[in-house]
Amino acid sequence: MAEVNLNEPKVFRKLRHRGRLSQIPIYLGKQLRFFVNQSDWKVLPMAAIIAALVSMVIRKDFFLTMEGNLKGAFALTCVGIWNGCFNSIQAVCRERPIIKREHRSGMHISSYIVAHMIYQFALCAGQTGLSMYVMMMLGVQFPVPGFMTPWMIVDIAITMLLITYASDMMSLFISSLSHTTTGAMTVMPFVLIFQLVFSGGLLPLPDWTKPMANFTISNYGIKAIASQSGYNEVPMVTAWKTLDSMRNNEIGGTVTLGQVMDLLDSQAVEKRRDMEIMKSFTVGEAADILSKADDTLHLRDKEVTHSFTLRELLTGLKESDAFQQLRDFVLVPAAQPAPVEEAAEPAAEAPAEEVTAAEPVEETAKPAVTVGSLLDMLLENEDTKAALDKELGATMTLGQVLDALHAEDVIASVSDKQLNQPVTLGQAVDFLKNNEALQNQRDREFTFKTTIGDLFDLVGEENVKRVVQEKTAAASHKDEYERTVDNIVDNWVVLVLFTLAFAALATISLELIDKDKR
Amino acid sequence: MEILEILLLIFLNTELSPFSIGRSLLYLVGLFFIFRKCGVQGWWALIPWARDYKLGVCAGREPEGRGLCILSFLTTIASLVARYIDPQSNFGLFMSFVAFFLLLLDLFYQIRVYLGLIEVFGREKWWILPWVLAEALVAPLWGLLPQFKPLWTVQQIQSEAANFFSGSKAKVLDNGLTVNLEERTATEFFKKKYLLRDIHMYIQPGHMVLLLGGSGAGKTTYLNAVNGYEKAKAEVVLNGTNMYKHYKEMQYDIGFVPQLDLMRGSDSVFRTLMDAASLRLPKDFSKADRQARVEEVMKIFGLTPVKDNLVVKLSGGQRKRLSIAMEFISNPSLFILDEPDSGLDGVMARELFQQLRKIADQGKIIIVITHTPDRVIDLFDDVIVLAKDAKRTGRLAYFGPIEEARTFFGKEKMEEIVKSVNREEEGGEGRADEFILKYAEVQHG
């Protein structure tokens, strides 16, 4: 043995060991053996169970309503984050001392992390595929076609995979920071709570906390899924459902006519004075409307029973306006007690019909017989009483009546004739306000009692439903959930960036493993 | 007036009111005298934040004192910020939460430091309540009354051994291992701490060396410094090559077997060794070469019958052998083992050390830490004894042949040697400084 001069340059035989790239398969192999021998495969059935549970909640209205859409987006994002987080939260910290030993023996941390990335990607893809299949099996209806691909299920699966994978890398980073599995599992709930609370989906955030949402995977996951499933294109149903559930609730109260009339002066009415509340109809249009209504109401089949006595008929005739004009028409002039010859002369001058209807001239003075007196006499005559009080009548359907009247022909002949002028709200209000009879009864009280359902029926349930759903949907419209390629791709890109950033952070933090205390 | 308030907040951690100022002054006076009783200079009580650290030092709880110091600083910052923001604003509410959180932590650390102080003063634990609730009264009470005396103080080290260094260097030869370690330090809380100092030795090839020392003597730190994993201010030369300068090239020429069996239970014995071979053997080794080497190593360590078994299914002895085999696969010149016999019975441990002896006989250097050396001492050539000097620095108390060690320490058994250098409170004889000085003088000539 000889003394050595350490200042002399040393020449080494070039011994090259495995580089970063060729170390990846070593660790990939270890991961796969872990999957088989250490029950890592259990995450797959777990993912299926979680997907089944979520499906039961979201399957009914995922793609049908705004609420269902948001609920579904939130639930799927939670599933992705949960699966991803629990895939790798213990992956590094459980073997940290082993990594330290291997790092000492020449293992490259980047190779180790890349091997994890490849393995975890396969695991996430498996979980996503399984989850989608379970959802489909349990009745979540994915519409066809999709937006980015020909199948919506593939669209959603891509987003789910990106969410799961980004979460997986996030927990890989946490696992790289933690020295023990207990430490990692202690941090995990806080991270999950942060992800869920600051997702900005179901829980509305105050403005000052919104920037925090930009740092959550869940925020971009929800945006992507809500955009893909057309959040802005479906109705919002909660308000209508709430109203509908109050259908049997009774409402009522006492108001004066004056209070009701005062409503006519309100700004709301004033603003809408020009609103047409009744358009003009032609006879044909009115007939069409009635005809369409008859399809559901079946008015033509309604039986019309008309029963009356001759007395009622004559009494009605007697009271009619037309009859009043005839009432004083003299049928037989008054007769004075005079010789028969004198009396016969004017009778000869009378019109023929009057002559035929005239009573034989009596000897005594007699009042003139008018149409009115004749009718009175007839109604008061005891001999005709039985005949007059006998019931007459028939039962027919309204259709038969209309047919008998040849209503269709009549309507056809005047179908283009305008029935009315359009009526504006202003005109109607003016009419009511200027109506003296109404004004005179301003203090008259009305007690009304009804149900919300009856009000729906009054206004038209479909109208109320449509208006409520349209208005609430418009109020809930969100640009960030608009179904556009830009929106979806932007969110996908951010999720990929999260993945890469967390993987890089995991590598950096693990590079410091040599500083661990022994 | 505002400046006065800020100064009071920083220096006395109090607000501008006679009662608060009086309370803080009382506390500081008490602290001043407690510090003096404990062997710390009293004026530290006047330095904001640092006084919390020094209180931790007095209480024998330096880490807690450090935490208290940081928390105290952060609380002061939070209080200063709180002065200038609207408490009802979002930021104000957030800062309130931060301040509350800091106060909780501060209280937690305070309790730990006070408990330490109670222990140092040999008092009952119920004193913690007065300390937490009325520190301004208890501190002067403990500081001024003579019956409150610490059982031990922060010592001013006057040990001769701690300040004497051999100054000699071991020879550097083209074969064997030379270690010339000046110092290995670590910085903790802005303070340089010596972990190891003045360790010089030359180990011949083919020697199996026992590394002894009490807990905290720096055995693992020393081994990490020797193999270049945690570099020290040192010159480590293996077979004529400076390991610190050529760590990348020499990395595979050193095998370090950790105390725990750090292997994946999900791998089989064969796969574990194949992966170890892939990492440790040069790239120009073909798969067949690697496989042949693995088969050879399995045969040496008696692992062939269990080659397809999962690691998790192996017995303790088999796992130890596998762990050693993983490092042996690259045929290193220097082999370091940290307690390879832990968890093994006497028979299995002896078998293991006999295998190591065979490896050493092939011209390798083997350094082994073990806590039960006497059952296998006949297999070793040399012994290294590390001990903590009065300043708690790891020093070399002896290096040389086993027989000479017995003479040097006047002890027959290795375990007795360890006991002789261990501190009295650890159940030892507390003679570390004596042997450190003696060995340094021998080296110094």
- pLDDT tens per residue, range A453-512: 888 888 788 888 888 888 888 888 888 888 899 999 999 999 999 999 999 999 999 998
> By CB neighbour count within 10 A (0-12 exposed, 13-18 middle, 19+ buried), where does B143 fall?
buried
Both A363 and A496 in a single domain? no
Q: Which residue range is the domain that position B7 belongs to?
A: 2-144
Return d(Cα B90, Cα B156) in angstroms, integer.
Answer: 51
What are the residues whose beta carbons fall under 8 Å from the beta carbon of A443, sequence distance 6 or more? A256, A257, A258
In terms of pLDDT, which residue wins out, A371 or A78? Answer: A78
Strand partners, A305: A395
Q: Please determine, for residue B192, whether its predicted confidence score (pLDDT) is greater than 60.
A: yes
Strand partners, B154: none
* Å between B23 CA and nearest CA of chain A: 40
Give yes or no: residues B71 and B11 share one domain: yes
Report pLDDT for B20.
86
Is the Cβ of B305 closer than 8 Å to some Cβ of chain A? no
- Reported as a pLDDT band with limits 50, 70 and 90, residue A287 is confident
Sole residue written with tokens 């190593």: B297
Q: B169 and B69 in one domain?
A: no
Q: To the nearest whole number, what is the mean pLDDT of chain A?
A: 84
Do B174 and B281 share a structural domain? yes
Is A395 within a domain?
yes
Same domain, A53 and A181: yes
Interface residue of A101, A111, A180, A212 to substitute, partner B, most B CBs within 10 Å: A101
Q: How many domains does chain A contain in total?
A: 2
In a domain, B155, yes or no: no
Together in a domain, B184 and B108: no
A230 and A143 in one domain? yes
With an 8 Å Cβ cutoff, is A336 touching chain B?
A: no
Q: What percent of chain A has pLDDT over 90?
A: 30
> What is the pLDDT at residue A386?
81
Domain match, B133 and B194 both: no
Same-domain check for residues B98 and B247:
no
Last residue of a domain, which of A413, A445, A467?
A413
For residue A54, being part of any structural domain is answered with yes
The reply to whether residue B266 touches residue A208, judged by beta carbons under 8 angstroms, is no
Last residue of a domain, one of A413, A437, A461: A413
Kindly state whether residues A221 and A125 are assigned to the same domain.
yes
Give domain status of residue B175, yes or no: yes
**Single-letter code of the amino acid located at A287:** A
Phi, psi of B204 (to 5 degrees): -75, 150
What six digits make up the tokens of B264? 């994946």
d(CA A124, CA A158): 11
Q: What is the pLDDT of residues B322-362, one digit of tens each?
A: 999 999 998 899 999 988 888 778 888 898 899 899 999 99
DSSP-derived letter for residue A41 is G
Q: Mark residue A237 as left, alpha or beta (left: phi above 0; alpha: psi -120 to 50; beta: remaining).
A: alpha
A211 and chain B in contact, CB less than 8 A:
no
Q: Are B186 and B43 found together in one domain?
A: no
A429 within some domain: no
- Distance (Å, whole) CA A97 – CA B263: 9
> For an interface test with B, which of A17, A36, A98 has the most B Cβ atoms less than 10 Å from its Cβ?
A17
Q: Are residues B95 and B219 in the same domain?
A: no
Residues whose CB is less than 8 angstroms from the CB of residue A134 and which lie 6 or more positions away in sequence, other chains included: A48, A51, A52, A55
**Closest residue in A to B248 (Cα–Cα):** A106
Query: How far B239 CA lies from chain A's nearest CA (Å)?
Result: 9
How close, in Å, is residue A18 to chain B by CA atoms? 6
Domain finish residue from B144, B171, B187: B144
Number of domains in chain B: 2
Cβ pair A3:B249 closer than 8 A? no
Element (H, E) at A53: helix A43-58
A514 and B CB contact within 8 Å: yes
- Chain B residues in contact with A101 by the CB 8 A cut-off are 256, 258, 262
Are B279 and A36 a contacting pair at CB < 8 A?
no
What is the per-residue pLDDT across B266-305, written as a single tens digit (0 to 9) for each?
Answer: 889 999 999 999 988 888 888 999 999 999 999 988 899 9
Measured CA to CA, the distance from residue B92 to residue A428 in angstroms comes to 59
Bridge partners of B211, per DSSP, are B369, B384
Does B208 lie in the same domain as B125? no
| B1, burial (CB in 10 Å: exposed 0-12, middle 13-18, buried 19+) | exposed
Residue B261 near residue B319, CB atoms below 8 Å: yes
Question: Is residue A273 included in any domain, yes or no?
Answer: no
Task: Please tell me the distance from the alpha carbon of residue B333 to that of residue B335, in angstroms, as a whole number.
Answer: 6
Residue burial A121-148, b: 16+ Cβ < 10 Å; e: rest: bebbeebbebbbebbeeeebebeeebbb
In a domain, B153, yes or no: no
Q: Does the residue A272 lie in any domain?
A: no
Q: Tell whether B319 is within 8 A of chain A (Cβ).
A: no
Q: Quick one: tokens of B178?
A: 């030379």
Residue indicated by tokens 């004559």: A314
pLDDT of res. B179:
92
The CA distance from A463 to A457, in Å, is: 10
* Cβ contact, residue pair A26, B278, below 8 Å: yes
Of A3, A18, A101, the CB nearest to B278: A18
Contact residues on chain B for A97, CB-CB shorter than 8 A = 258, 260, 262
For residue B97, being part of any structural domain is answered with yes
Domain that holds residue A173: 20-236+477-515
pLDDT in tens, A340-386: 554 444 444 444 444 444 455 455 667 788 888 888 888 888 877 88
Residues B27 and B135: beta-carbon distance below 8 Å:
yes
**Domain final residue, candidates B111, B144, B177:** B144
Claim to verify: residue B111 and residue B172 sit in the same structural domain: no
Query: Do the Cβ atoms of B266 and A38 come closer than 8 Å?
Result: yes
Cβ-defined contact of A98 to B263 (cutoff 8 Å): yes
Q: Is A170 inside a domain boundary? A: yes
A28 & A155 share domain: yes
Partners of A518 on chain B (C-beta within 8 Å) are: 220
In a domain? residue B258 = yes
- pLDDT of B142 above 50: yes
Distance CA A260, CA A256 (A): 7
Query: Among positive and negative, which fits the CA dihedral B262, B266, B271, B277?
Result: negative
Q: Report yes or no: B235 at the A interface, CB cutoff 8 Å.
A: yes
Cross-chain residue pair B283–A98, CB shorter than 8 Å: no
Query: Residues of A with CB below 8 A from B329's CB?
Result: none
Q: Is B279 on the interface with A (CB under 8 A)?
A: yes
B220/A518 touch (CB, cutoff 8 Å), yes or no: yes
Please, which residues 81-100 of chain A have a Cβ atom closer than 8 Å to chain B? 95, 97-98, 100
Closest CA relative to residue B257, chosen from B362, B378, B352, B397: B352
Q: Assign residue B200 the CATH number of its domain.
A: 3.40.50.300
Answer with the one of B144, B179, B197 that is the final residue of a domain. B144
Contact assessment for residue B154 and residue B392, using Cβ atoms and an 8 Å cutoff: no
Structure-derived torsion over alpha carbons of residues B326, B332, B338, B339, reported in degrees to the nearest 10: 70
Strand partners, A393: A307
Question: Quick check: is A490 in a domain?
Answer: yes
Domain boundary among A370, A391, A413: A413
Q: Are residues B135 and B183 in the same domain?
A: no
Segment 326-355 of chain B within 8 Å of chain A by CB: 326-327
> In sequence order, what are the beta bridge partners of B335?
B255, B366
Asked whether residue A284 is assigned to any structural domain, the reply reads no
Higher per-residue pLDDT: B89 or B367: B367
Residue B258 to residue A29, Cβ atoms within 8 A: no
Q: Examine residue B150 and state whether it is found in any structural domain, yes or no.
A: no
* Same-domain status, A78 and A212: yes
**B195 with B100, same domain?**
no
